[in-house]
Amino acid sequence: MKDRTRAWIDADRRHSWHPFTDQADWEKRDPLVITRGEGVWLYDSEDRRYLDANSSIWTNIHGHSHPKIVEALQKQAATLCHSSYLGFANNRASELAERLCSFFPEQTLSRCFFSDDGSTALEVALKMSLQWNAQNGREGRDGVISFEHAYHGDTLGASSVGGVSRFVKGYGESGLPVYRVSDLSDLRSLPEVVVETISAVVIEPLIQGVNQMRLWPSGMLSELRQWCYDHDIHLILDEVMTGFGRTGKMFACQHEEVIPDFLCLAKGLTGGTMPLAATLTTEMIYEGFKGEGRTLYYGHSYTGNALGCAAALASLDVFEEENTLERIEEKGLLLESNLSNLTLRRLGLILAFETQDGVDFCHELKKQGVLTRPILNTVVLMPPLAINQHEIEFLAERVTRVANV
């Protein structure tokens, strides 16, 4: 091991604290120190290369250090890195807001509120829904319906609507009345006295990510949309994971032609390069915040960050230039057919299968040059959308090798 690798690991051991990590386990093994990325490959400080099979926790889209995005970032960095969105507009944020809204029919999702991460995109949607109801003649609607085992992020508000018990242990409830339902029929059986107090329903459309990649039955999303219309309740779609092509379409809601009241975007928004999030909503919601005493008091220091917006614009350009969306289904099928020895589930380029021990399996995969993270005993394969045929075959071959031991 090189001296500087040792030094980096030692510094990590002495001073760092990693997310979602039992640091007692962490301290038992030397971590990889990632120093470089190119395409679907990550390189460690010893110059070993690994296929990034979970797109760096579901963020990367076009591969690492994509030249178009790098160029856009370099240009933007030399021009303007950040200026406050509080009191000023900036050219890149203007362009990106317009571009994101243009994915949806006119008079639907026409307003974009920027924040920094998936969790904050959810916080924004929840606060907007609750406050909109409170100040637009619909007082008493302070409840939220979410789905069991859902994941919506880790900030206090976002985690309180989530349903993964191991992530909220120790914090209790946030004070928000949250009703968790298991499915549509459970939702339909909620008593009317509860339904009358609900501001919004929040869901990960088509597939629950952190819940070991569980797929919703097809048609469920459009039925939920109808239920929300019928009861005059907002629909918040958390497309933090599913957005930007993972499922084969730009957004998962497009599979069932559903348009929500709030659409939360983050992870893939910048192609996996910068932390940036967006909450899209309708003109009706927007109008309900105008006038004295009706302001949405929400924002962060880095809201509308110019570097993040420039990266997101470049990523959307790459989608067009490389016809990224057209080949996702084909790539997903190829990976699936190369893994026909496994029982797996798939949506677009999201694949998952069960193992005896997820941690061991991923540890073995790492030795074979493939990086991914298990969710309990589920192994997730979610490579960058830019993965090519040769790389898909490599990935499948290595996974098969580990599965057959």
CB of 241 to ligand PLP, least distance (A): 3
- Residue list 171-210, contact with ligand PLP (CB under 6 A): 204, 209
Tell me the sheet residues that pair with 236.
202, 262
Nearer CB in complex with ligand PLP: 117/336: 117
Angle between helices 389-403 and 358-367 (to 10 degrees): 120
Of residues 60, 110, 119, 279, which one binds ligand PLP by CB under 6 A? 119
Among 309, 304, 292, 284, smallest CA distance to 128 is for 284
Q: How far is the CB of 113 from ligand PLP (least distance, A)?
A: 15
Q: Which stretch binds ligand PLP (CB under 6 A): 145-153, 188-196, 327-335, 391-399?
A: 145-153
| Segment interacting with ligand PLP, rule: CB under 6 A, options 24-32, 84-92, 164-172, 235-243 | 235-243
Nearer to ligand PLP, 145 or 266 (CB): 266
Q: Find the helix or strand (DSSP H, E) in which 239 lies.
A: none
User: Rounded CA gap, 264 and 315, in Å?
Assistant: 18
Q: Check residue 238 for interaction with ligand PLP (CB under 6 A).
A: yes
- Give, as ranges, the residues between 29 and 68 that touch ligand PLP (CB under 6 A): none
* Segment lying near ligand PLP (by CB under 6 A), choices 67-75, 115-123, 176-184, 371-379: 115-123
The footprint of ligand PLP on this chain (CB under 6 A) covers a number of residues equal to 13
DSSP 39: B
Q: Which of 74-82, 84-92, 114-122, 334-342 is the region at the interface with ligand PLP (rule: CB under 6 A)? A: 114-122
Site string for ligand PLP, 255-294 (x = CB under 6 A): -----------xx---------------------------
Q: Among residues 241, 253, 328, 342, which is the contact residue for ligand PLP, using CB under 6 A? A: 241
> Does residue 240 touch ligand PLP according to CB under 6 A?
yes
Residue nearest to ligand PLP (CB): 118
- Closer residue to ligand PLP in complex, CB, 32/57: 57
Cα–Cα distances (Å) from 69 to 83, 93, 237, 247, 317, in that order, read 20, 16, 27, 22, 9
- Which helix (H) or strand (E) segment holds residue 218: the answer is none
Report, in Å, the least distance between residue 364 CB and ligand PLP: 25
* Residues paired with 325 in a beta bridge: none
Which positions from 209 to 228 touch ligand PLP by CB under 6 A, shown as an x/- string?
x-------------------
Q: Please identify, among the stretches 43-51, 149-157, 337-345, 386-394, the one whose residues bind ligand PLP according to the rule CB under 6 A.
A: 149-157
- Least spacing, CB of residue 121 vs ligand PLP, in Å: 7
Cβ of residue 343: shortest distance to ligand PLP, in angstroms? 24
Q: 3-class DSSP state for residue 17?
A: coil
Exposed/middle/buried for residue 223 (C-beta within 10 Å: 0-12, 13-18, 19+): middle
Candidate list 141, 152, 234, 255; residue touching ligand PLP; CB under 6 A: 152
The string of DSSP codes covering 54-85 is: THHHHT-SS-BT-HHHHHHHHHHHHH-S---S
Task: Tell me which residue of 245, 241, 225, 242 sits closest to 233, measured CA to CA.
Answer: 225
Residue closer to ligand PLP (CB basis): 315 or 338: 315
Letter for the amino acid at 309? C
Which helix (H) or strand (E) segment holds residue 116: the answer is: none
Q: Where are the beta strands (DSSP E) in 109-243?
A: 109-115, 143-147, 178-181, 198-203, 207-208, 214-215, 234-238
41, 104, 114, 151: which one binds ligand PLP (CB under 6 A): 151
Q: How far apart are CA 56 and CA 276, in angstroms?
A: 15
Sorted by sequence, the CB contacts under 8 Å of residue 169 that are 6+ apart come out as none
Q: What residue ranges bind ligand PLP (CB under 6 A)?
A: 117-119, 151-153, 204, 209, 238, 240-241, 266-267
